[in-house]
A and B are shown apart, each in its own frame.
Chain A
Amino acid sequence: MTEREDELRQAVEAAQRFDMTPVEEAFSAIALSPLGRLIETVLPTVPESEMRTTLQRIRDLKSGTLDDLFDREFQSFLISYLRTDLSELQTITQVLRTQQLVSASAADENVQLAARGGDTGGISSLELQSILNRRRFT
């Protein structure tokens, strides 16, 4: 056995003493990623289909954000890992992007108030009026 082989053998013996159980448990305990949380909000509206299964698997990966879906390397990884294709991935990306835009708008109370207009009267109408005035005179 050469010196190099002996070093490798010693390294393998040392590494073999490592117990993987706590690491596996720690990985299982990782919480949903921002991407996974976004998928959670979309899932109730998606009917049973291939896309739903793919969405669930992306959620279970507990990795990444919506922006990562635009990363070429992550896209290619998801295609190989989920055995899907680019068009389905692009559809999923669009669905999630729309959901994010919708939930971001829903969170913005002023937009809702402005949209309801006359119902709320008062502040939001005045705000709209002042914006219109500013646009008119500038």
Chain B
Amino acid sequence: MSGSVWKQRFALALATMIETGNGSDADLMLRGYVSAVCARLHMPADAHDVLQETWASILTMARNHVTPPKIADLVRTIAYRRAVDVVRRRERFRSAEGAWLAREATEAVFEPDEVDVEGALATLLRCLKGENERQYSAVTLALQCSNHEEARLRWESVHSAQISPETFRQMHSRGVRKMRRYWEQSND
């Protein structure tokens, strides 16, 4: 299907969705499109996040009453931008976590007798548990699992509740920030 034909069909499917609330056609088309974009960018595992974010952007445009053909015209740009956002966010998250771990490791090397890293970590985790049990659970599970998705699934089974990847990421990053604050306060 050529690009312009796809755009026309997507605009029609989107209009049906806005008019009737039935998004099955539009979703099927966008799902295939985002999958191809993610495969092209060699990030197939992120297709779910990119799809979610692309729908969020389309919804914002629809709320502002942008017409379906204009939205369809911009879908390519939106999907690529959201894919880049997902990569950037993950990289930022990784570098923040890496910097924190590197600082811990450096301090452990230079002051081996004074800093007990595991003990300090346990203290910080205890503080977090006292303040926010769910964030504590997100941080500890992320430490135990090999990736965030796995941690999120375990979090869902532990708490018997659904949580979106974005909410889980926010919960985890808030927990880590709080622990960093406890650490800085303890060093003051």
Bound pair (A, B): yes
Residue contact A27 to B17, C-beta cutoff 8 Å: yes
**Residue from B22, B23, B65 having most chain A Cβ neighbours under 10 A:** B65
Write the B43-75 contact mask toward A (1 if CB under 8 angstroms, else 0): 011111001100100010011011111100100
- B106 beta carbon closer than 8 Å to chain A: no
Q: Which residues of B contact A63 (CB under 8 A)?
A: 15, 18, 62, 65-68
Q: How far is the CA of A10 from the CA of B22 in the complex (A)?
A: 26
Residue contact B45 to A80, C-beta cutoff 8 Å: no
- A28 beta carbon closer than 8 Å to chain B: yes
Partner of A77, one of B11, B24, B59: B11
Task: Determine the interface band of chain A, counting residues with CB < 8 A from chain B.
Answer: 35 or more
The dominant DSSP class at the B interface is helix
- A14 beta carbon closer than 8 Å to chain B: yes
Interface residues of A in 1-15 (CB under 8 A from B): 4, 7-12, 14-15
Q: How far is the CA of A77 from the CA of B19 in the complex (A)?
A: 14
B98 nearest CB across to chain A (Å): 25
Partner of A18, one of B18, B21, B51: B51
Closest B residue, CB atoms, query A25? B21
B72 nearest CB across to chain A (Å): 9
Partner of B19, one of A4, A11, A60, A71: A60
Residue contact A8 to B23, C-beta cutoff 8 Å: no
Q: How far is the CA of A20 from the CA of B176 in the complex (A)?
A: 31
Contacts A63-B66, A74-B67 given: A15-B15 contact, CB under 8 Å? no
Residue contact B47 to A73, C-beta cutoff 8 Å: no
A113 nearest CB across to chain B (Å): 34
Residue contact A61 to B48, C-beta cutoff 8 Å: no
Residue contact B48 to A20, C-beta cutoff 8 Å: no
Closest A residue, CB atoms, query B22? A24
A56 nearest CB across to chain B (Å): 10
- A57 beta carbon closer than 8 Å to chain B: yes
Q: How far is the CA of A137 from the CA of B158 in the complex (A)?
A: 87
Q: How far is the CA of A137 from the CA of B76 in the complex (A)?
A: 61
Q: Which residues of A contact B59 (CB under 8 A)?
A: 23, 26-27
Interface residues of A (CB under 8 A from B): 4, 7-12, 14-18, 20, 23-28, 30, 33-35, 57, 60-65, 68, 71, 73-74, 76-77, 80-81
Q: 13 other contacts beyond A15-B38, A76-B69, A77-B67, with CB at 8 A cut-off?
A: A14-B35, A14-B38, A14-B44, A15-B31, A18-B48, A23-B55, A27-B21, A63-B62, A63-B67, A64-B66, A71-B67, A81-B11, A81-B12
Interface residues of B (CB under 8 A from A): 8, 11-12, 15, 17-19, 21-24, 27, 31-32, 34-36, 38-39, 42, 44-48, 51-52, 55, 59, 62-63, 65-70, 73
